[in-house]
Amino acid sequence: MPKKDLLIEIGTEELPPKALLPLSEAFRDEFASLLAKAGLEHAGITPFATPRRLALLVQQLDSAQADRTVEKYGPAVQAAFGADGTPTKAAEGFARGCGVSVADLQQKQDGKVLKLAFSSVQKGEPTTALVPDLLRSALAALPIPKRMRWGSTRDEFVRPVHWVVLLFGSEVIPATILGVETGAATRGHRFHHPGTLHLNAPEFYERLLRGQGKVIASFAERREEIRRQVDAEGKKHTARAVIEEALLDEVTSLVEWPVALTGNFDPAFLDVPQEALISAMKGHQKCFHLVDAAGSMLPRFITISNLVSRDPAQVIAGNEKVIRPRLADAAFFFAQDKKQTLAARIAKLKTVVFQQELGTVYEKSRHVAALAQHIASVLQADTALVARAAELGKCDLMTSMVYEFAELQGIMGYYYALHDGEPHDVALALNEQYLPRFAGDALPGSRTGMILALAERLDTIAGLFAIGQPPTGSKDPFALRRAALGVLRIVIEKQLPLDLATAVAAATAPYAALPKAGQLQTQVLDFVFERLRALYADQGVRSDVFIAVDAVRTTSPLLFDARIRAVNHFVTLPAAQALAAANKRVSNLLQKSASASFGALKPELLQDPAERALDAALADLLAVVGPLLASHRYTEALAAMAGLQPQVDAFFDQVMVNVEDAALRQNRLALLQRLRELFLQVADISLLQNV
């Protein structure tokens, strides 16, 4: 079957920059899925995306669907012919429906029944006939929250469409897509080449746009070209350009022919916290900032122009003129905010509602302060510092700077607290309470910051559970799952000896009177610990290892983690499989017994050499393992327990547990209970699978 390249290009008004890359990827994936469903094979799909176009190049696409054999089954042979062999009406009707005579029908087995059958070859549809509808379906399925209409048409898309290219080999596939007739003419850069460019074949698309149209159609290539130019500009000024990937993606979505230019701003603005300057430059002007070898911000910025100017100095001057009032605003906000202390803003928190049923931000701050002091006392931290940090924790929300740049909450709290003369640990905690902000983010570094971050998250989780607003399915509007993961990461990675049950009890106490607070403590504790499953899955820990440890849950995340590491190591030992199987057997024997407890082991009733050997091995092992378990050295403890395998194997090979003698049976079950209780101090290894 002959194959040809297919080019699709949807030319539009400027597309929303933050949506461009997701739209491009969704377009590629959706069209690939539709081609697969249609039975059209290809060698791959290359997406292209610029501010004015979404395009796909499908390499070596089938020219038509493959022919396929279609089989139809009719009545059973027994019902198709009379006693004399004459076709019945059922047989004749089936033949007529197939467009043949009864004599042309076959007899085939359909399951256990022999039936009349007819086979025909259905010719595949040509690709040119299929592509327009496939394209319409792909465009309709794109994740566009709000579609636009334009002119008198009823067609809808993310932005008005001006041209559509639909080229299969050298042939234009005629169609009307989003109200526009398809053709073979694309358009170049809005300023450098505003006219049309005629395409002879899809493979020339990218080269033609770059060479004549002054458009780098590939999003990935354009992004790397911007990165290269920005790096080069930084080196040219003996500095390092700071390139954040999200900003780089957004800038890539704004230009078709990038040109990096460096501008300057008044060094006096450097008296403003650099985070505020960066937010102003990124948020409003989409600029990259420069730092020196020590990481200090320089009074320069790099902007990406969308054209090659004959007078770059004018472009730079224009950007400098625009960026100055943005920085001036930040400087003004900073100066004004410093006229009032954070503490003076505490009362204003009473005017801000955190959640209708949970009250104001002021009330939440009081809950957080009480919980933070409880955690601080457990961890033997400075309760006064923690209380002060919690009291001031949300005060920067009432500042002009944070009102204008919401992403600076916590950061500005740090600067304002230092200006007010607050202790350094308190100032740090005001920012660190928000850490980690996302997966893989840094954790709080100060003890006060860690405690405030824990208290803030636990209070939020407890309050929202108390009013019946836990996460449901994929919906988590208050990011409670992320909050729970943050709690676990802080406790585990910072090695905090915190019992989560007592912390959750303190967190839920203020909400005990709310209507949906029944079983609140258990619900919150289970919710937080369930997040551990995802945390360890990301680290490659097997699910059965998690289940084995969770079965004998400790409410200390730090000890839970130590047990996970121990069991994860245990499953690699040669004795693991036999001991896991033995523990499962022991568990079954104990569960089937009528007694819940078998009393103290009576050494005088140990008759068989194998059971005496197991008892002696257990006694020797307890002397070694006891101190290891007491000091939470679970990996060493399980490794030592693995040495029991010979005695356990010999016991089950040579000893009958369920003997008729009740005393003897109870004693042997008591021995096995001792064995099982030893392992249960770490995990229920009977739940391990495929060790």
Residue 475: predicted pLDDT: 86
Of 590, 567, 563, give the one whose Cα is nearest residue 579: 567
Largest CA distance in the chain: 110
484 pLDDT higher than 60: yes
As a dihedral over the C-alpha atoms of residue 578, residue 584, residue 589, residue 592, rounded to 10 degrees, the angle is -160
Residue the block writes with tokens 């003369």: 421
116 exposed, middle or buried (CB, 10 Å; 0-12, 13-18, 19+)? buried
Strands (E) in 357-491, as ranges, are 359-360
Residue 137 Cα to chain centre, angstroms:
28
Torsion of CA 260, 266, 268, 269, to 10 degrees: -50
pLDDT tens track for 131-180: 999 999 999 999 998 999 998 888 999 999 999 999 999 999 999 999 99
- pLDDT value for 164: 97
Residues 76 and 61 in one domain: no
Residue whose C-alpha is closest to residue 141's, from 126, 159, 156, 162: 156
Question: Backbone phi, then psi, for 353, in 5-degree steps?
Answer: -85, 125
For 21-151, strand residue ranges (E) read: 44-50, 53-62, 68-76, 106-110, 113-122
CA-based nearest residue to 485, from 442, 436, 526: 436
Instruction: Assess whether 368 and 332 both reside in one domain.
Output: no
Give the CATH number for residue 55: 3.30.70.260
> How many structural domains does the chain have?
5
pLDDT tens track for 271-289: 999 999 999 999 888 999 9
**CB 427 within 8 Å of CB 402:** no
How far apart are the C-alpha atoms of 536 and 250, rounded to whole Å?
33
Residues 356, 333 share a domain: no
The reply to whether 548 falls in a domain is no
Which one-letter amino acid corresponds to residue 495?
Q
pLDDT attached to residue 260: 97
**Strand ranges for 454-576 from DSSP E:** none
Report pLDDT digits (tens) over 422-481. 999 999 999 999 999 988 899 999 999 999 999 999 999 999 999 989 998 888 989 999
Distance CA 303, CA 326 (A): 15
Instruction: Indicate if 48 and 115 belong to the same structural domain.
Output: no
Q: What is the CATH number of the domain that holds 588?
A: 1.10.730.10
End position of a domain, from candidates 83, 106, 122: 122
CA 485 from centroid of its chain's CA atoms: 12
551 within some domain = no
Q: Provide the pLDDT for residue 595.
A: 60
Residue 331 lies in a domain: yes
Gap between the Cα atoms of 388 and 548, Å rounded: 42
State mean pLDDT over 487-511: 95
Q: What is the 3-state secondary structure (H, E, C) of 453-474?
A: HHHHHHHHHHHHHHCCCCCECC
Same domain, 498 and 511: yes
What phi, psi does 257 have (nearest 5°)? -135, 85
Cα separation, 590 vs 596, whole angstroms: 8
Q: Do the Cβ atoms of 543 and 533 come closer than 8 Å? A: yes
Residue 459 near residue 367, CB atoms below 8 Å: yes
Whether the predicted pLDDT of 98 surpasses 90: no
Residue 598 has pLDDT above 70, yes or no: no
As given in the structure block, the two tokens for residue 478 are 């208050």
350 and 407 belong to one structural domain: yes
Question: Does the pLDDT value for residue 498 go beyond 60?
Answer: yes
What are the backbone angles phi and psi of residue 162, rounded to the nearest 5°? -110, -30
pTM beyond 0.85, yes or no: no
Pairing of strands 359-360, 353-355: antiparallel
Note whether 430 and 413 are within 8 A (CB).
Answer: yes
State residue 563's pLDDT score: 95
Give the pLDDT of residue 492: 96
Kindly state the tokens that stand for 278. Answer: 């960066």
**Burial profile 605-627: b = 16 or more Cβ within 10 angstroms, e = fewer:** bbeeebbebbbebbeebeeebee
Residue 547, in any domain of the structure = no
Structure tokens at 45: 């799909």
Per residue in 41-85, pLDDT tens? Answer: 999 999 999 999 999 999 999 999 887 777 888 888 888 888 778
- Cβ-contact 157, 12 below 8 angstroms: yes
17 and 158 fall within a common domain: yes
Give yes or no for residue 487 having a pLDDT over 90: yes
| 425 and 469 share one domain | yes
Burial of residue 51, with CB atoms counted within 10 A of its CB: 0-12 exposed, 13-18 middle, 19 or more buried: buried
CATH number where 371 lies: 1.10.3210
Q: How far apart are CA 410 and CA 404, in angstroms?
A: 14
Is residue 329 within 8 A of residue 280, CB to CB? The reply is yes
Based on the domain organization, do 267 and 293 belong to the same domain? Answer: yes
pLDDT recorded at residue 529: 92
In a domain, 167, yes or no: yes
DSSP 298: E
- Residue 597 per-residue DSSP state: -
> What pLDDT score was predicted for residue 609?
86
On the question of a cis peptide bond just before residue 143, with omega within 30 degrees of 0, the verdict is: no
Residue 477 belongs to some domain of the structure: yes
Q: What is the mean pLDDT of the chain?
A: 92
Amino acid 691: pLDDT: 61
- What is the C-alpha separation between 116 and 100, in angstroms, rounded? 12
| 557 domain residue, yes or no | no
**Burial, 328: exposed, middle or buried (Cβ in 10 Å; 0-12, 13-18, 19+)?**
middle
Instruction: Write out the two tokens for 279.
Output: 């937010």
Domain end point (choices 287, 313, 337): 337
152 and 106 part of one domain: no
Under 8 Å CB-to-CB from 581, ≥6 apart: which residues?
none
Which of residues 508, 540, 572 is at a domain's end? 540
Task: Give a yes or no: residue 558 inside a domain.
Answer: no
**SS3 at position 632:** coil
Q: What confidence tens digit (pLDDT) does each residue in 321-380 have?
A: 999 999 999 999 999 999 999 999 999 999 999 998 899 999 999 999 999 999 999 999
Residue numbers of the domain that contains 666: 563-687
Distant-in-sequence, close-in-space partners of 290: CB < 8 Å, separation ≥ 6? 234, 237, 239, 240, 241, 242, 262, 297, 298, 300, 301, 302
H or E element that contains 177: strand 176-177
Question: Does the pLDDT of residue 597 top 70, yes or no?
Answer: no
Flag the least confident range among 216-220, 221-225, 361-365, 575-579. 575-579
Q: Strand pairing partners for 177? A: 180
Shared-domain flag, residues 596 and 631: yes
Contacts of 53 (CB under 8 A, 6+ apart): 9, 10, 11, 12, 186, 217
C-alpha 44/C-alpha 630 separation (Å) is 59
Report pLDDT digits (tens) over 545-585: 999 999 998 999 999 999 999 999 999 988 888 888 888 88
Asked if 385 and 398 sit in the same domain, the reply is: yes
Of 572 and 662, more confident? 572
User: Is 390:372 a contact under the CB 8 Å cutoff?
Assistant: yes
pLDDT of the residue at 594: 57
In residues, how long is the chain? 691
d(CA 520, CA 465): 7
